[in-house]
Amino acid sequence: MSIRPIDVARTDGGPQWVEAVATPSGVEVWWDEPRPHEGGRRCVVRRLPDGSRTDALPAGWNARNRVIEYGGRSWRPLPGGGIVFTNWADQRLYRLDGPLREDGPAPITPEGLSRYADLYLPPGRDEVWAVRETGDVRDLVAVPLDGGPLRIIVRAQHFLMNPRISPGGRYISWIGWDHPNMPWDGTELCVAPLGQDGTAGEHRVVAGGPRESVVQAEWRDDASLYAATDPTGWWNVHLVHVDGSPGKNLTPMELEFGGAAWKPGMTYFAVAEGGSLAAVYGTADRRRLGVLDPETGELREIGGDATHWSSTVSVAGGRAAAVRATPYTPLEVTLVDLGDGAQEVVSAPKPLPDRGLLPTPEAVTIDGVHAHLYPPSGAQSGPAPYVIFVHGGPTGHLPIVLDLEIAYFTSRGIGVAVVNYGGSTGYGRAYRERLRHQWGVVDVQDCAKVARGLVELGRADAAKLAIRGGSAGGWTTVAALVHSDVFAGGVAHYAITDPESWAAETHDFESRYLDGLVGPLPETRQRYSERSPLLNAFRASGPCLMLHGLEDAIVDVGQAERFTAELDRHGKEWALLTFPGEQHGWRREETIVAVLEAELAFYGLIFGIETPGVPPLTLKGRV
C-alpha cells in the first residue's frame, strides 16, 4: 500500500494568511487556503465563533496578487463580515460586504497595470492601505473603501512593505530597501509624521541598515515600536524608539523570531490586548509559538507538540490564530489560548493516509550541514535509494512537517533527505551568509556531503542517489549534476540553468539577487560562466527531468529548453515536460498528479526499480 498522487494534490499547500477578529459572541478566524481542485485558486474562509465555516469569496474569485511576482498579503476582513481583497484575474482591489451577495464583489481600484499587496486597515479610517506596484515602481497608497480616488502616502525606497499607523495617528511606519539588497540582507525601518492630508512627511530610519534586516514592526505606542531585526545575527524582537534613543533586544537568544520576507505581509508576532506578544520563533528544525512579556523578557511556550508554526499570527480576545503542523498532521489553522495554551483546530480536516504510511523524520547534522531524514517505509534488506530534496530560494528552508510529497516517495521504498544547505534561513545570519558569492558551490557541496554521509552510514545506496528541487533548488539540482559525480540523475522543477541570462530576463525583485549570491556583473562574469549548468551540461553525471510552467514570470521556460538542448547536443539523457496555465510552482490538481507520476517514473528508470501504476516516461538522448 502506498500514497497516491491524488492524495498529495488534495492536501497540497496550506493556509497562508490568518486573522483573528473579536466579536461579542467570541473570536472569528479568517484565513485563505489553496483549492487545487478549483483550478488552484486561493479562497478566503471565515470561521464563526459557533464553529461554522463559510467561504468568504464566491466561486471563481481568487485572492492572489503578483506584487514582486511572489505576491503578498491579499485580503483583510472588514467590520460587519465583509472583505477587501486582490483578485488574481485583473490584480484589482475589490470589496465584498457581508455574507456572499448576489451582486458580487465591487472593484475599488481602477483598471490598469497596477498590482496591490500587503493590505492593511488603519484603525479609524475608511480606507485600506497597500503596497502598489506599477511596472518597477512601488509606493504606499490609501484606497477609499467606497472606491474614491487613491492617495499616495509614501514614495521612498524601491521596495516597501509593512505599512502601519501609530496608535494616536501621528506617525506612519514602513520597511523599505533598495537594490542590490534583498530583504534578508538589509532593510530600513522608517518612521514619518502623518500630515492632515494623509500623506507622510520626511522620514527617519529608526532601525536596520545595509547589513541589518528588519522584517516586521508593530507600534507599541506613539513613541516606540516592536521590531523583528537581526543586528546580533539572529532575528530577535527589539524595542525601538522613534526619537533615536537606545532600544533593547527583548529576546537576546540564538533563535529566529523572523524570516526571509519573500512575500510582503508576513507576521512573526502580534501584540495582544494586554501588551504581551504572541510570537513564532525557533530554528528551521523546530518553529515554536510562545507568549513574550516585553517588560520582563519572559518567553512562555504555548505551541504544544507542533514542530512548525508558519509565519502568520494574529491575536484577538485572548487567543492567537496561527498555522501549525507536525510530521503527522498538515498545516492547520489553530486557535491557541494565550493563557493556558489550549488549542482548537478551526480549519476543515483534510483526508489523510494511514499513519503507517508516513515516515518519521529525524533532524541531523552531517559534516556541519543541517538536514532532515525521512526513511523509506517497509523492511530494507540493505541500503536504500535516496533522493536529496533541495529547497528553493535559495534563502529559505524546509521545515519538519507532514509533507505528502515526501511520503509519496518514502511509501514506495525511496528515502528522502531534505538538506537545509549553507544559505538557508533558520540558523542565523552566519549560516545564511555561507552562500554569499558561493551559490553553485556551497549548496552543491552541502548536498553532496549529506548524500555521501548517508552512504557512509549504510542508509543509502551509492549507486541509487538522486537530487531534486524547484526554482533555486532546481538550480542546485542541475548544478550538482554537472559539478559533482554523486548523483545518478536529477529532477528540476522550474529551474534556473544559466545565472547570467536569468539575471537579465527575470523580474525586478530578484534582478540583483545574484550580486550577493554569485557576484556583481560584469566584474565576476567568469564566475558565472564557470558555475553555469548550461555551459557545463556536457559534464552531467546522469539524466535530468525538467518540469516547467509555461506562464512562469520568475524563471522563463527558456531556461529549461536551452539546458535540455545542450544535454541533447552532448549525448546526455533528458526529458522536458511543460504545463500550460502554471506559473512558478504547481497549483492545479491535474498538474500536481502529472508531475509526481513523471518524477516517480524517472526514479524508476535511473534506479532500476519497478514503478507500477504510473505512466511510463521516455528519456531522450543517448540510447
Eight-state DSSP code of residue 375? P
Q: Give 98's pLDDT tier (boundaries 50, 70, 90).
A: low
Residues 254-294: tens digit of each pLDDT: 999 999 999 999 999 999 999 999 999 999 999 999 999 99
Which pLDDT score is estimated for 613? 87
Cell triple for 83: 472583505
- Higher pLDDT: 36 or 33? It is 33
421: pLDDT strictly greater than 50: yes
Give CA separation, 467 vs 309, 320, 393, 593, in Å. Answer: 27, 39, 16, 20
Eight-state DSSP code of residue 398? -
Which pLDDT score is estimated for 3? 87
Residues 177-218: tens digit of each pLDDT: 999 999 999 999 999 999 999 999 999 999 999 999 999 999
Which pLDDT score is estimated for 99? 59
Residue carrying the nine cell digits 531585526: 229
Cis peptide bond N-terminal to 394, omega within 30: yes
Alpha carbon distance 383, 468 (integer Å): 20
Which pLDDT score is estimated for 537? 94
Alpha carbon distance 208, 35 (integer Å): 38
> Residue 91: which region, alpha, beta or left (left: phi > 0; alpha: psi -120 to 50)?
left
SS3 category, 594? helix
Cis peptide bond N-terminal to 361, omega within 30: no
Fill in the amino acid letter for 138.
R
Cell triple for 148: 474614491
- The answer to pTM > 0.75 is yes
Percent of the chain with pLDDT over 90: 89
Dihedral angle, C-alpha 511, 512, 518, 520, nearest 10 °: 120
Mean pLDDT, range 288-304, rounded to an integer = 96
Between β-strands 26-35 and 18-23, what pairing exists: parallel, antiparallel or unpaired?
antiparallel
Cell triple for 274: 494586554
Q: Which residues contact 79 (CB under 8 A, 6 or more apart)?
A: none
Inter-residue contact 301 to 288 (CB < 8 Å): yes
Cell triple for 350: 483534510
- Higher pLDDT: 223 or 79? It is 223
Cell triple for 585: 510552482
- Sheet with 224-229: strands ordered across: 216-221, 224-229, 236-241, 248-249
Cell triple for 424: 538557508
Q: Which residues pair with 277 in a beta bridge?
A: 271, 292
Between β-strands 489-493 and 544-549, what pairing exists: parallel, antiparallel or unpaired?
parallel
361: pLDDT strictly greater than 90: yes
Alpha carbon distance 277, 394 (integer Å): 30
Percent of the chain with pLDDT over 70: 98
Which pLDDT score is estimated for 623? 41
> Of 57, 15, 12, which is closest to residue 33 (Cα–Cα)?
15
Q: Which residues contact 115 (CB under 8 A, 6 or more apart)?
A: 65, 66, 67, 86, 91, 132, 133, 134
How many CB atoms within 10 Å of residue 170?
Answer: 13
28: pLDDT strictly greater than 70: yes
Which pLDDT score is estimated for 380? 65
Inter-residue contact 387 to 466 (CB < 8 Å): yes
Residues 216-245: tens digit of each pLDDT: 999 999 999 999 999 999 999 999 999 989
Inter-residue contact 477 to 492 (CB < 8 Å): yes
> Of 544, 547, 550, which is closest to residue 493 (Cα–Cα)?
547
Alpha carbon distance 616, 623 (integer Å): 16
Residues 313-334: tens digit of each pLDDT: 999 999 999 999 999 999 999 9
Q: Give 103's pLDDT tier (boundaries 50, 70, 90).
A: confident
